[in-house]
Amino acid sequence: MDLARPQVAARRTRSAAARLGLVAVPVAFFAVFFAYPVAAIVARGLHVDGAWRFGRLWDVLEQSDIRHVLWFTTWQALASTALTLLIALPGAYVFARFDFPGKQVLRAVVTVPFVLPTVVVGTAFLALVGRGGLLDELWGVRLDTTVWAILLAHVFFNYAVVVRTVGGLWAQLDPRQEEAARMLGASRWTAWRTVTLPALGPAVAAAALMVFLFTFTSFGVVQILGGPAFSTLEVEIYRQTSEIFDLSTAAVLTIVQFLAVGSILAVHAWTVRRRESALRLVDASVTARRPRGAGQWALLAGVLAVVAVLLVLPLAVLVRRSLDAPGFGYYRALTESDGGVFLVAPIEAIGNSLQYAVVATLIAVLVGGLAAAALTRRDAGRFVRGFDALLMLPLGVSAVTVGFGFLISLDEPPLDLRSSWILVPLAQALVGVPFVVRTMLPVLRAVDDRLREAAAVLGASPWRVWREIDLPMVRRALLIAAGFAFAVSLGEFGATVFIARPDNPTLPVAVARLLGRAGDLNYGQAMALSTVLMVVCAVALLVLERLRTDRTGEF
């Protein structure tokens, strides 16, 4: 027994060192490239003439136009969330309980909008409801610069969040529990309300919170469709930073958004823990069946109609508008440089975006993979578990703030990166890391800890344990995580718009610049570039769908 104690102590020491090593890289990455830039821009706005001016917080919040921005940001996020749940929950049920031909293809189609850049989403709806759009051509109706265009675009973007999050759980709920309630005399509605709905509650809450988070921080969609009449916090931060150069007001709005996002993520983490610990699930493959009866077939037809009109039609109109010029004229025009807004031909943005996205994906997989491995360990302390929530912050904190923070904080040795190409993939990787963590963490947690312990007892180093035990089991999840990081990096806009150099624009930045210029040629080129970006993202998603498993298929 005494001889075993030194071995146990040595193993614990190695385990603690391995845990610190795993978490060191993610902590350093987020400290340097997230916390530091955000703190720098907030400090720049509130620290004036050698003194802190916290009274500026109340001065800004008392302004009527700022209160209007806060009200509209909250109101449209609540409305978008409610509308998304109303439209998407029937789809979640259909994907969970029905089995029909083409289901996997339809699942990929439903998910395409979520991985599309917000600039493409805004452009697609502009082609549908804007000047010269389909509704304008057919009935003379324009919805751009109206709140309805924004709400519908948000539903388009977040439909898959509800379908994947709620539908993924719904498919694994044992239907025999509801059937038992009906055998005891409960009506179909009563059985669903008292048995199924409480079990779905955590998933519905988690989906609603995620939709609210994405719409509360909406930038690209509102920037393109809202016009001067509508402005969210994110858009207002961009306007105050890049147009008015009022860093003090931008800093206050950043603090407000940071506090709001932190609260949302805290509630989201609580609902996810409830979902993970309070349910007994069955194999999803045994709960789906072919629709039976006229009512179920009508429900399936209704969901298909919603997908066709709300999700497919805007993208189809986008493609059609890109082909309006004869002989692929808009696409050919992408190869020409005008020497104005673009120092290079717009088509070069495709190569730039692909190169940046590959580098950002490598960074995100490295940082996110280490973070997920650290969070998986049973001996993880409170600091490591708290870091789990911090990893989600880049999804909600203003990307505009991060991008501008890069410019004003990473400008001195040893981190003078303002003129370096690496700045763009670093910003993109910040958004990709949470997706990597959320994709890999459930699979890593499913690995039997006894396998790791047995390998360690036999003398395997932590690195060999990971290589021999974890990696073979999570290889597919790792590929899926890389795919999500690639798609998200490809479409990042909020931070990239600040730091992308004029001679190296990314696809979303190029689309936004073309939309900001008058003329049918510029508009058509924006449609063409958006179509290219959509196709690239869709191809990446189809590859992910082939790799997807039930365990790794949810957001």
- What's the rounded mean pLDDT across residues 496-514? 84
Q: Looking at residue 555, what is its pLDDT?
A: 46
DSSP string, 250-302: HHHHHHHHHHHHHHHHHHHHHHHHHHHHS--B--GGGT-B---HHHHHHHHHH
- What's the rounded mean pLDDT across residues 323-348? 78
Rounded to the nearest 10°, the torsion over CA 485, 491, 497, 499 is 30
Over residues 293-325, the pLDDT tens digits come to 788 889 989 999 999 999 999 889 888 888 988
Compute and round to an integer the Cα radius of gyration of the chain. Answer: 25
Please list, in sequence order, all residues whose beta carbon lies within 8 angstroms of the beta carbon of residue 546, skipping any fewer than 6 positions away: none
Gap between the Cα atoms of 553 and 551, Å rounded: 6
Closest CA to 411 of 401, 419, 400: 419
pLDDT of 164 higher than 70: yes
Identify the weakest region by mean pLDDT among 103-112, 184-193, 229-238, 250-259.
184-193
CB-neighbour burial class of residue 114 (10 A; exposed 0-12, middle 13-18, buried 19+): buried
Q: Looking at residue 257, what is its pLDDT?
A: 84
Gap between the Cα atoms of 294 and 287, Å rounded: 20
Gap between the Cα atoms of 33 and 26, Å rounded: 10
Please list, in sequence order, all residues whose beta carbon lies within 8 angstroms of the beta carbon of residue 382, skipping any fewer than 6 positions away: none
pLDDT band at 340 (very low <50, low <70, confident <90, very high): low
pLDDT band at 155 (very low <50, low <70, confident <90, very high): very high
pLDDT band at 159 (very low <50, low <70, confident <90, very high): very high
